[in-house]
């Protein structure tokens, strides 16, 4: 009986270890989102680098006011959920943009909180190898 208990405990640890590795594989890479906001249409590219449960990378935003490339901070992964902050500077004001999302296949459904100004639900789609378009609705590039 004791041997079965030990086997079960070891199996649980192995599954926990595998799920962390799967989360790393799931989120790492390039993702694109396009959405309407109070300041007009925005296009974003998120480039995530994952180390265990920590996330780093960049949020590259395109909008009518210009383009920005911001290093994300406070990035964390917990199973199929991701959270991070995009510390943006707009017109000499520091704006904290918080993201919380959940992955489902090749999509991350984010809740995006822009300071105390606005909140949006957006969807980022994984950029697959060979896709170069900045338009998230464009079909994949053909060889």
**What is the DSSP secondary-structure string of 49-110?**
EEETTEEEEEEEEEETTEEEEEE-EEEEEETTEEEEEEEEEETTEEEEEEEEEEEETTEEEE
pTM of the model: 0.74
Give the pLDDT confidence of 70-80 residue by residue, as tens digits.
999 999 999 99
**Domain assignment present for 137:** no
**Domain assignment present for 134:** no
CATH of the domain at 83: 2.40.128.120
Q: Is the per-residue pLDDT at 20 higher than 60? A: no
User: For residue 75, what are the domain limits?
Assistant: 2-126
Give the pLDDT confidence of 46-72 residue by residue, as tens digits.
999 999 999 999 999 998 888 999 999
Q: Is the per-residue pLDDT at 13 higher than 90? A: no
**Domain assignment present for 44:** yes
């Amino acid at each position: 009986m004791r041997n079965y208990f030990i086997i079960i405990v070891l199996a649980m640890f192995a599954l926990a270890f595998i799920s962390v590795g799967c989360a790393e594989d799931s989120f790492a890479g390039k993702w694109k989102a396009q959405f309407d906001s109070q300041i007009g249409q925005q296009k974003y590219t998120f480039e995530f680098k994952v180390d265990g449960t920590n996330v780093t990378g960049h949020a590259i935003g395109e909008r009518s006011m210009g383009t920005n490339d911001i290093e994300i901070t406070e990035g964390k992964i917990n199973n199929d959920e991701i959270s991070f902050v995009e510390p943006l500077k707009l017109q000499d004001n520091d704006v904290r943009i918080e993201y919380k999302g959940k992955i489902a296949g090749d999509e991350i459904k984010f809740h995006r909180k822009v300071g105390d100004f606005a909140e949006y639900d957006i969807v980022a789609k994984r950029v697959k190898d060979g896709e170069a378009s900045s338009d998230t609705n464009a079909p994949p590039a053909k060889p």
